[in-house]
Amino acid sequence: MQKSLSVYDSDGSTFAPLVVIELVSETKEEAIAWLLNRVRDKQQDGGAELLVEQLTPGAQGTEKDNPNVYVVGASWQRLLYGAEDVGLFKEFKDGSMRGFTYANKHNFKEFQGDGDGFLSMAECQYIIKHGLDNLRAKDEAHVPGYPKMKLYPGKSVIRRMQSKGILVQVFPLHEKEELKRLSFSWFKKIKLSFQPLDDIRHYFGEGMALYFGFLEYFTLALIPMALIGIPYYLFDWEDYDKFTVFAGFNLVWCTVILELWKRLSASLAYGWGTLSRKKAFEEPRPGFHGVLGVNPVTGRAEPLYSNAKRQLRIYLLSVPFVLLCLYLSLYVMMIYFDMEGWALMIHDEEPTFWTGLLLFIPSIIYAVVIEIMNLIYRYAAEFLTGWENHRLESTFQNHLVLKVLVFNFFNCFASLFYIAFVMQDMVLLRQSLATLLITSQILNQIMEAFLPYWLQRRRNKKAHKRMIKTMEDKELPLSEQVKLEADMSTYLGTFDDYLELFLLFGYVSLFSCVYPLAAVLVVLNNVTEVYSDAFKMCKVFKRPFSEPAANIGVWQLAFEAMSVIAVVTNCALIGMSPQVKSYFPESETQLILWVVGFEHFLLASKFILTFVIPDVPKHIQIKLSRLEFESLEALKKRSIKLKKKQVPSLNLKLNFFVVC
Amino acid sequence: MQKSLSVYDSDGSTFAPLVVIELVSETKEEAIAWLLNRVRDKQQDGGAELLVEQLTPGAQGTEKDNPNVYVVGASWQRLLYGAEDVGLFKEFKDGSMRGFTYANKHNFKEFQGDGDGFLSMAECQYIIKHGLDNLRAKDEAHVPGYPKMKLYPGKSVIRRMQSKGILVQVFPLHEKEELKRLSFSWFKKIKLSFQPLDDIRHYFGEGMALYFGFLEYFTLALIPMALIGIPYYLFDWEDYDKFTVFAGFNLVWCTVILELWKRLSASLAYGWGTLSRKKAFEEPRPGFHGVLGVNPVTGRAEPLYSNAKRQLRIYLLSVPFVLLCLYLSLYVMMIYFDMEGWALMIHDEEPTFWTGLLLFIPSIIYAVVIEIMNLIYRYAAEFLTGWENHRLESTFQNHLVLKVLVFNFFNCFASLFYIAFVMQDMVLLRQSLATLLITSQILNQIMEAFLPYWLQRRRNKKAHKRMIKTMEDKELPLSEQVKLEADMSTYLGTFDDYLELFLLFGYVSLFSCVYPLAAVLVVLNNVTEVYSDAFKMCKVFKRPFSEPAANIGVWQLAFEAMSVIAVVTNCALIGMSPQVKSYFPESETQLILWVVGFEHFLLASKFILTFVIPDVPKHIQIKLSRLEFESLEALKKRSIKLKKKQVPSLNLKLNFFVVC
């Protein structure tokens, strides 16, 4: 319970600022007044019924500061009604999770008194964001003062102002006290422990908490592999005879951990109330454009864009572009092999310590080039997917993920596949894998945590200069805090973090039988990743809006696809091992048929396993069924009651023909 | 609109009899009186609120007739409320399908006047069955008059009486006029046309209509294959060089038709209102037993049976039993090959016309033995699955289907796989396939249609003797009709029909490239199957209760699994063809690697295709989303209205601290 900062409303009452809206400094007065009125209007009148005030610049305010910064809050009633609107699930008195309703509020476990403290700040901010996003134009033809900024009934006002550039940003505020506590339990403590997932979820929302949960789970799941890998590395360095056992372990491991994660994630999501939450109807994404028409689902005016045109764009431009990029990546790979051969030649001619070192140079260069290509491609893919003009953010994301995954997979693993199956050179494979893994990890850590932190510090120093009077960090006035946070970088979502995990998962599941230390390296990387990610979330970035999520979405699929590829790859590696080959000394055909048969058996078992292991643990399944059953029963009772009212005596009306 | 037969209620009003309940003739009076009262009681008092009368024996009634036959009907109101209870979907005024509610009844398209004719007779019967099944014991400790027939609060009365054997059967009555019309348009017309699926659904319900729809679809889908197969058969009889093209066609065909069927079935189910219908909570199946406890979902008293015990039964008895049966089947197969070799030896020694004929004898005997083994195993599997004591009918069915499928697949196809891949004898494969296919089809038609029809005729003759006075079929009095129908065989569900289709699909998709006439034979079989199945449904069996179904359920999965096996088999057959082998004259290893690579590519494409093709056609998806969106909006409006009522002035309460 923190009374923290507060602003005075126009009525003189105070409210806690939750969300900041920043408009460009030259926004016309009438547009601002109109927007604020719409935000303050009652919901019955089509407003958002929120509290909003201009941020009064602090004592240190300079002329350069943007005056058009507004803080938004809401009354507790508004927030509670909003919780019902967005379909928040909360813990009921009996311990089950139920959709919150205002009428039923006192039956929820943590509801006390007026209900202050019932919703977490992240939830409040999510509700406010939902309210702002759903602020729709009524009969305004355009934003007042901007005749070119067309509106039509039903268009989201905030989205239009954002896409036209008057609205710079909308972001939720950090909570100093809470953040300090979270940082301490998360990454400042030295002692080894699990991450405080519930607290993370409380502060950053479910989507983020699931990412960190997955990161932690993945790291723990790697530990047995790392433990097995160490003796392999220590004792059998050049004797890769025994790697069949390791490959077999790999196979089972990557199937089982993904299945178990599904169950764990369902448990987490149930506890957080997102498992059975219904998805709201999705609005068109901000960048979507088209001819104004009528949406066949909602019946609302909305831009429409022909699906055929989009398909044309995808197949005539995006697909060829991706193929071209793949070809380019192949070309770079070939250059790498040339360099590799050249370095080997020099080393063979006159082997010294320096030429020995030179052997690693091509791999390192290649690893750096791969990272750069991935980065450039990432931007190209984003541009291209935007240009494909998908209506929904979710389809946009799916197409983007697909593009990026295919390229990154190819870019990172093509050379390894080539070495393993075309050159069949296990020593080179091991060396390349090690160099790729280590280099890309170092690069990633720099790009992800160090660079943003350094940029942040430079900015902070500037800010600090401006406010010499205020004590360090302690009691910043609201206006200063808002300005500090407004300048922080924006966190762009978990995409890149998951992508990194996906590639690491690939290195481990595909080839770790050749280089057993891979798992150890990945575990080390993940441990630092937890800390650097936690640090960047708490210190480097603006607070992101919490995103309700029931699972890791399309990434589950991506990881599962990788695990299927891993089965095939590991079987092929097993088939190529001298140990297995020695069983079929006379006939290579026999060997291949056995390996293929074994692989088919494994793939079949994998699919059966996926099918047999229930995705949701039984005790949660029971709770969900109970809820569903209760709502069904309630419906029946209501209908019987209704019947009682409408037909007081049914017996009187028996005297008619029943006709089929 | 047919006034048909009617019975007088105890009040003197008439009602149309819909469902028949038959109790054993020596049932005690008090049990009957109690049951009838419970059936007639109002729903508020825990009754079923149905109309029920004893069937007055006709003039021809003999002493041998069972007097305890009751006909059940219901008032139109009761049926309409029941339609709401069971969650029936009906066409709304705007053409969409919506859950029927009594309050909203006039907004449904076909609702006129009182609502007579709004529900089909099959729907009425389903509603009555639902009402009877949900008749639950209140505080009775046992069925009156039968102290051993224990009841507990919440136990379904009908199910208990059925499992204890006092209730012989509950079945819906046929509708003479409607049936005549249906029979005419279905199988009595000579002209070629599609089946009247909507009428079938109207009379027999969605489950049955989907079966016939699938049968028809499958037959149509086979026609291109049959057309391609004929020239293959005519011109390339011994030249199986070209079968790679056919195998390739097979591959694409079996994937595509299954995907398209999913979409077609979704369209059908949408039109019939079962696509978005919610599944009701499933009661324990009648045979389920256990220690009385509390169901964790419903909180009702219910027998419980430990899952661990069930798993033990499955893994310690069922699985070994299935494996034993598979071994037996393998043993029989080996005997068949011995016989085959023996016949060949005789033929080779002294080839005459008779020894040429002898060559076919082993295959024919084997085909008959396979059918007999399938039949015996079917009963064993049913017994075993019953003994596993599954709580739900659906899990029971799944376990039964799994057991039967594995065995039938093995039993029917093991010899073909052995011939194809171990003996690599394509001529024998073709011959075995032809004999198996033709013999099993002939046997099936006899077992399925001719035998029941013959039995039925024998029974009918007896019945006819008893009623010399009545005109032929025309105006049978109710009591006679009921007795006639009560004596008809009971239709045991679509299981065996789907199983037959599944095996035919297997023959065609797995091996038809070797014997292109297979598709032609299957098409011919399916055409007769349509007629014989239609005939048996209309003339041979009791009318079954209609079963709402949105898809063909577990069979879709079974057919998809078969199509995956077909990809693997066809790739292997392609790899074995001399044509393909000639491309790799020097190295068999190369050939195998290419085939395996191609197969993996095909499997991957298949899974991607399954993923990419949406299961529900777009226009139906839009309609479903619109419904969902509307219900969401309605909910929101209600909550805003509620809010208006509860908090007349929100502004008064602004003056408090917002605390996080």
How does pLDDT run across B212-239, given as a tens digit for each residue?
999 999 999 999 888 887 877 777 655 5
Q: Quickly tell me which residue has 């126009």 as its tokens.
A: A10
Residues of chain A with C-beta less than 8 angstroms from the C-beta of B116:
657-659
Look up the ipTM and state it: 0.83
Query: Looking at chain A from residue 148 to 167, which residues have their Cβ under 8 Å from any Cβ of chain B?
Result: none
Q: Which residues contact A486 (CB under 8 A, 6 or more apart)?
A: A20, A22, A69, A169, A171, A542
CA distance A17 to chain B (A): 9
- The amino acid that residue B302 corresponds to is E
Residue A659, chain B, CB below 8 Å: the answer is: yes
Is residue A3's pLDDT more than 70?
no
Strand partners, B146: B143
Contacts of A49 in chain B (CB under 8 A): 650
By C-alpha distance, which of B420, B443, B422 is closest to B433? B420
Buried b (16+ CB within 10 A) or exposed e, B572-589: bbbbebeebeeebeeeee
Whether residue B11 and residue A101 make contact (CB cut-off 8 A), yes or no, is: no
Q: What is the pLDDT of residue A260?
A: 92
Percentage of residues in chain B having pLDDT higher than 90: 25
Find out whether A486 and A215 touch, Cβ atoms under 8 Å. no
Task: Report whether pLDDT(A112) > 90.
Answer: no
Q: Which of B643, B649, B653 to mutate to test the interface with A (most CBs of A within 10 A)?
A: B643
Which residues of B, range 576-595, sit inside 8 Å of A by Cβ? 588-589, 592-593
How many Cβ atoms from other residues are within 10 Å of residue A435's Cβ? 19
Residues in chain B closer than 8 A to A629 (CB atoms): 281, 297-298
The residues, any chain, with a CB within 8 Å of residue B22's CB and separated by 6 or more, are: B66, B68, B69, B70, B167, B168, B169, B170, B486
| Average pLDDT rounded to a whole number, residues B624-631 | 83
Interface of A with B in 590-619 (CB under 8 A): 592-593, 596, 600
Residues of A within 8 A of B77 (CB-CB) are 647, 650, 653
Taking an 8 Å cut-off on Cβ atoms, the answer to whether A11 and B651 are in contact is: yes
User: Any idea which of A15-24, A59-68, A73-82 has the lowest mean pLDDT?
Assistant: A59-68
Alpha-carbon gap, residue A121 to A545, rounded angstroms = 10
Q: Is B658 helix (H, G, I), strand (E, B) or coil?
A: coil
Inter-chain contacts counted by CB atoms under 8 A, chains A and B: 178
Predicted local distance difference test score (pLDDT) of residue A388: 92
* Residue A264 in this model has a pLDDT that exceeds 90: yes
Distance CA(B421)–CA(B406), nearest Å, equals 20
Cα distances (Å, whole numbers) of residue A2 to A110, A177, A178, B134: 17, 8, 9, 54
Q: Please name which of B57, B21, B28, B53 lies closest in space to residue B40, comparing C-alpha atoms.
A: B53
Taking 3-state DSSP, the helix, strand and coil percentages for chain B, each rounded to the nearest 5, stand at 60, 10, 30
Minimal Cβ distance to A636: which of B78, B85, B116: B85
Query: Does residue B4 belong to the interface with chain A, where contact is any CB pair within 8 Å?
Result: yes
How do residues B39-55 score in pLDDT, each as one tens digit?
Answer: 998 888 888 889 988 88
Q: What is the mean pLDDT of chain A?
A: 83
Task: Write down the pLDDT at residue A639.
Answer: 59
* Predicted local confidence at residue A336, as pLDDT: 92
Query: Measuring CA to CA, which residue among A161, A11, A612, A336 is closest to residue B557?
Result: A612
Q: For residue B359, which of B376, B342, B371 has the smallest C-alpha distance?
A: B342
Contact yes or no for B14 and A642 at CB 8 A: no
Going by pLDDT thresholds of 50, 70 and 90, the confidence category of residue B11 is low
- Mean pLDDT across the stretch B296-307? 84
Q: What is the mean pLDDT of residues B480-491?
A: 83
CB contact under 8 A, A42 and B2: no
Collect all residues of chain B within an 8 Å Cβ-Cβ radius of residue A116: 656-659
User: Between residues 91 and 110 of chain A, which touch chain B (CB distance below 8 Å)?
Assistant: 101-103
**Min Cα–Cα distance to chain A from B268, Å:** 21
So what's the pLDDT on residue B351? 82
Query: Is the pLDDT confidence value at A558 over 90?
Result: yes
Judged against a pLDDT cut of 80, whether residue A596 lies above it is answered with yes
Q: What mean pLDDT is predicted for residues A505-512?
A: 88
Identify all chain B residues contacting A114, using CB atoms and an 8 Å cutoff: 656
Give residue A648's pLDDT band: very low, low, confident or very high (50, 70, 90): very low
- Verify whether the Cβ–Cβ distance B85 to A639 is below 8 Å: yes
Does residue B296 or residue A313 have the better pLDDT? A313
- Identity (one letter) of the amino acid at B321? F
Of B546, B615, B568, the C-alpha closest to B128 is B546
Q: Is the pLDDT of residue A523 over 50?
A: yes
Using a CB–CB cutoff of 8 Å, tell me whether A280 touches chain B. Answer: yes
Chain B residues inside the 8 Å CB shell of A647: 77
In tens, the pLDDT along A138-187 reads: 888 888 888 888 888 778 888 888 888 889 899 999 888 888 888 888 87
- pLDDT for residue A656: 30
Q: How far apart are CA A70 and CA B307, in angstroms?
A: 59
Chain B's closest residue to A3, CA to CA, is: B659
Closest Cα of chain B to A171: distance in Å?
17
What local confidence, expressed as pLDDT, does residue A630 receive?
82
Lowest mean pLDDT among A482-486, B339-343, B618-622: A482-486
**Residue B641: pLDDT above 90?**
no
Q: In this predicted model, what pLDDT tens digit does every residue of A172-181 receive, in sequence order? A: 998 888 888 8
Q: Do A281 and B628 touch (CB under 8 A)?
A: yes
Tokens of B433: 């396939």
**A302 touches A154 (CB < 8 A):** yes
Residue A194 contacts B where some CB pair is shorter than 8 Å:
no
**What is the share, in percent, of chain A residues with pLDDT greater than 90?**
25
CA atoms of B591 and B577, how far apart (whole Å): 11
- Say yes or no: B124 contacts chain A, CB-CB below 8 A: yes
Query: Residue range A217-240: average pLDDT?
Result: 79
Q: Bridge partners of A304?
A: A291
Nearest to A660 among B4, B632, B639 (CB): B4
pLDDT tens-digit readout, A24-66: 988 888 999 999 999 998 888 888 889 888 887 655 555 567 8
Which residues does chain B have within 8 Å of residue A422's beta carbon, measured at their own beta carbons?
Answer: none
Residue ranges per domain, chain A? 7-173
- Ranges A6-10, A131-135, A280-284, B172-176: which has the least confidence: A6-10
pLDDT of amino acid B472: 46
**What is d(CA B75, CA B114) in angstroms, rounded to the nearest whole number?**
11
Query: Which residues in A lie closer than 8 A to residue B296 (C-beta atoms)?
Result: 622, 626
What pLDDT is attached to residue A325?
94
pLDDT at B648: 38
> What distance in Å separates the CA atoms of residue B127 and residue B421, rounded to the nearest whole number?
54
Q: Is residue B342 predicted with pLDDT exceeding 60?
A: yes
User: Given A16, A629, A653, which is nearest B75 (Cβ)?
Assistant: A653
Cα distance between residue B139 and residue B124, in whole Å: 29
Specify the pLDDT at position B322: 94
Task: Give the separation between CA A564 and CA A568, rounded to whole angstroms.
Answer: 7
How close B226 gets to chain A, by Cα (Å)? 31
How far apart CA A624 and CA A630 sit, in angstroms, is 10
Mean pLDDT score, A419-439: 87
Structure tokens at B32: 């009957």
**Chain B contact present for A656, CB below 8 A:** yes
Average pLDDT (A625-643) is: 72
Res A329 pLDDT > 90: yes
Nearest to B76 among A42, A280, A658 (CB): A658
Inter-chain CB proximity B15 and A658 less than 8 Å: yes
Minimum-distance CB partner of A626 among B14, B296, B588: B296
C-beta atoms of B660 and A4 within 8 A = yes
Interchain pair B654, A11: CB under 8 A: yes
pLDDT score of B367: 86
Residues of B in contact with A9 (CB under 8 A): 654
Tell me what pLDDT residue A57 has. 66
Query: Of B367, B657, B425, B169, nearest to A113 (Cα)?
Result: B657
Summarize pLDDT for B496-530 with one digit per residue, the tens. Answer: 889 999 999 999 888 877 888 888 889 988 888 88
Q: Which residues of A touch B281 (CB under 8 A)?
A: 625, 628-629, 632
A649 touches chain B (CB under 8 A): no
Average pLDDT in chain B: 83
Share of chain A above pLDDT 70, in %: 88
HSE-CB at A313 with a 13 A cutoff on CA atoms is 15
B559 has a pLDDT exceeding 90: yes
Task: Please name the residue that has the structure tokens 């997979």.
Answer: A409
For the cut 50, the answer to whether the pLDDT of residue B652 exceeds it is no
Q: Report d(CA A458, CA A471) in Å as an integer.
A: 19
Cα separations (Å) of B609 from A346, B46, B441, B604, B614?
50, 51, 33, 8, 9
Q: Does A185 touch chain B (CB under 8 A)?
A: no
Q: Which residues contact B627 (CB under 8 A, 6 or more apart)?
A: B96, B98, B276
Q: Does B78 touch chain A (CB under 8 A)?
A: yes
Indicate the pLDDT class of residue B63, thresholds 50, 70 and 90: low
Identify which of A13, A16, A628 has the shortest CB distance to residue B654: A13
Residue B163: exposed, middle, or buried by beta-carbon count in 10 A (0-12, 13-18, 19+)? Answer: middle
Which residues in B lie closer than 8 A to residue A651 (C-beta atoms)? Answer: 11
pLDDT at residue A251, as a whole number: 77
User: Measured between CA atoms, how close is A10 to chain B, in angstroms?
Assistant: 11
Q: What is the pLDDT of residues A387-411, one digit of tens each?
A: 999 988 888 989 999 999 999 999 9
Statement: residue A659 has pLDDT above 50:
no
d(CA B10, CA A295): 56
First to last CA, chain A: 66
Q: Which pLDDT score is estimated for B328?
A: 94
pLDDT in tens, B437-475: 888 888 887 877 677 778 777 776 766 555 544 444 556
